[in-house]
Amino acid sequence: MRIPTPTRLMPEDARPSSHERENIKNFAPDALRERLGREGLPKYRADQIVGWLYARGVEDWDEMTDLAAPLRVRLAELFDTRALDLGEVQHSVDGTIKGTLRTRDGAVLEAVLIPEEGRMTLCVSTQVGCPLACSFCATGAMGFTRNLSTAEILDQVCRMREALPEGRSITNIVFMGMGEPLLNLPNVVSAVKTLQHPKAFGMAPRRVTVSTSGIVPRIAELVEQVPVNLAVSLHAATDEVRDILVPINKKFPLDELLGALKALPRLSRRHPVFFEYTLMEGVNDSEEDARQLVKRLEGIPSKVNLIPMNPHDDAPYQPPSAEVASRFMGILVKAGLVCTLRRSRGSDIDAACGQLALRERRASS
């Protein structure tokens, strides 16, 4: 075996590889101040670094020209700035843009840009796969691999900015992609802090929505730590049906979930809970289901988003007819609920949650 001489190894090979360096995006701005302090570096530089990384989208240390050169060298030794690579980008005829993203350890995840009038929403993932196995969900069919780091959550925003149409910017973030956000709560909270920090992305609280399928004990924990909109993936108004669609319901049944929501502080008509309800033909779309839903939501300031099922190979469900869907909505509206009936977005590009990543994973296995 030939052993290279030390001179051939230096200086390049002496530098830590990106795998050994911490990713700087794992630190929310306040945590970054502390981290710099522990290295004996000036804490007050944290805001500048955050501004370069997120507000300006600069990830090359050499380009952060208002940082002194020796500091830039030290930062490059300590920290990596990228966590994800952008792979395939699919464009739907309705304007939805879906990106596959690859982590440093080869895991595949996805993020979706949803353009609407006056806003551009990015839907981000929080886990690779999901352990909750909802029976209508493509991600649920993938099983669970691991939680995403804070850097991997934030880098979805950084990478998907590269896929934005000319002249558009991301205005809203929803944590509704692959995974259950509240099972990765510390990293989600840390990512939200960076999204809302004025020197980073500067997003107003009402522009960030975190969704849960009902991990009851963590709901209050989330809203105590960060000011966000809360969305709940409800999908059924009875335990009997929800146990099948959203199996975590067996652990945290509807009474417990809705009771926890009623107890939340600061809910009002202006700050409602957003309920997601996927309409599935013959499963949860009857008039009786609608009436049950109205009863269940009594006393909770609510906004209900009805979404006709986006059919895919991994679930046996179909959307109801337009007539059934609008009758369902009519009952909710008549009862005074604020309600929208959303089109399925990106149905021509595997836009059901987890479909693109699932296809990638199958293709590569």
Q: What share of the chain is helix, strand, coil (3-state, %, to 5)?
A: 40, 20, 40
- CB of 40 vs ligand SF4, minimal distance in Å: 42
Closer to ligand SF4 by Cβ: residue 200 or 208 = 208
Give alpha helix (H) positions in 39-85. 45-50, 69-78
**Residue 133 is a binding residue for ligand SF4 (CB under 6 A):** yes
CA–CA separation, 52 and 106 (whole Å): 27
Q: Which stretch binds ligand SF4 (CB under 6 A): 130-138, 261-269, 279-287, 318-326?
A: 130-138
**Residue 181 is a binding residue for ligand SF4 (CB under 6 A):** no
337, amino acid identity = L
Q: Which stretch binds ligand SF4 (CB under 6 A): 154-162, 177-185, 256-264, 307-315?
A: 177-185
Backbone torsions φ then ψ of 291, nearest 5 degrees: -65, -40
Residue environment code for 87-96, b if the CB has 16+ CB neighbours within 10 A, otherwise e: eebbebeeeb
**Residue 130 is a binding residue for ligand SF4 (CB under 6 A):** yes
- Residues classed as catalytic: 110, 353
In the structure encoding, which two tokens stand for residue 74, read together? 């030290």
**Residue 214 is a binding residue for ligand SF4 (CB under 6 A):** no
**Nearest C-alpha neighbor of 346 from the set 138, 191, 166:** 138
Q: Which stretch binds ligand SF4 (CB under 6 A): 40-48, 60-68, 88-96, 125-133?
A: 125-133
Q: Which stretch binds ligand SF4 (CB under 6 A): 128-136, 220-228, 292-300, 344-352?
A: 128-136
**Nearest C-alpha neighbor of 101 from the set 121, 130, 134, 123:** 123
Q: Strand, helix or coil at 142?
A: helix
Q: How many residues bind ligand SF4 (CB under 6 A)?
A: 13
Place of tokens 């990638």: 360
In the set 23, 187, 213, 229, which binds ligand SF4 (CB under 6 A)? 213
Closer to ligand SF4 by Cβ: residue 236 or 353 = 353
Q: Residues 226 to 265: which contact ligand SF4 by CB under 6 A?
A: 233
Binding stretches for ligand SF4 (CB under 6 A):
130, 132-134, 137, 139-140, 178-180, 213, 233, 353
